[in-house]
Amino acid sequence: MMRQHLGPKAETMRLISPGTCFNTGDGIRMAFEIGATGAGDWSGMHAEPVDARSKSSAPVVLVYPYGVVVDQNGCRFFDEGGGLVHETWEWFARNIHFKTPNSIAYAILDSRF
């Protein structure tokens, strides 16, 4: 269903919650088959920026407001000061996955001395 509503790139999203791979939309389809009506915005989903190198089930990375974020070409695509983390991480994660080359972004941070 993610592919149907969000496009083919949705298939490559990393599923971070245990058991999410079993959420195939069957319950929603069954409800539609007996007459339920869809409502709300089907063009989005909950997403979190994660460290792709991690094997952890939820390797959320929320350091982006403390530096500069760039894509693989070194281009900024996000206003790091555009809001609090809890206000921006969904937009940030979706844009990394759907709009940056290879769905990869880098946070460039300064070291503290």
Secondary structure element (H or E) that encloses residue 90, with its range:
helix 85-99
Asked if 28 contacts 40 with a C-beta cutoff of 8 angstroms, the reply is no
Express each pLDDT in 1-45 by its tens digit: 888 888 888 888 877 777 887 888 899 999 999 999 999 888 888
Does residue 30 come out as left (phi exceeding 0), alpha (psi in the -120 to 50 range) or beta? alpha
> Would the pTM count as exceeding 0.95?
no
Provide the greatest CA pair distance for the chain. Answer: 63
- Report domain extents, the chain: 1-43, 60-113
